[in-house]
Amino acid sequence: MKIEILFSDICNQYGDKGNIIYLQKLIDIAKKTDEEGEHEIYFTELNDDIRFIKEQIDFVYIGSLSETKINVVLEKLYNHRLEILKKIENGQMILATR
C-alpha cells in the first residue's frame, strides 16, 4: 500500500499527528508481513508536487487545519481540481479530517 500525507506541516490542528503515527505503524506492519508488496508512506508538503496526481497512490490523507491556512491549501488543490476530480471518479481514496 502506498499512502500520501498531504501538507502535514500545516494540516495538523486536532491531533492529526496521532493519525499519521497510526498510519506509519500500519505501513511498518505491512512491510514486515508482506515482503512482496510495496508499502510506502509519502509526506507531501505545501511546496511539493502532489504525488497522487501523477502516480498511483492507494490512500491520501489530509488533516484538519485552521481557517487562516485553509485558503492556502484550497488554492494549491484548486490548481489541480480537474486531475483530482478525475482521480476520485476513478476510485481514488481520500480521507480529509475536519
**Cα–Cα dist 35/83, whole Å:** 32
What pLDDT digit, counting tens, does each position of 56-75 carry? 999 999 988 888 888 999 99
Dihedral sign computed on CA atoms, order 17, 23, 29, 34: negative
Distance CA 85, CA 91 (A): 10
pTM: predicted TM-score of the whole model, two decimal places: 0.86
Q: Which residue would you say has higher pLDDT here, 89 or 24? A: 89
What's the rounded Cα separation, in Å, for the pair 24 and 45? 17
User: Domain tally for the chain?
Assistant: 1
Residue with cell 511539493: 48
Domain range for residue 15? 2-96
Cell 504525488 -> residue: 51
How sure is the predictor about 12, in pLDDT bands with cuts at 50, 70 and 90? confident
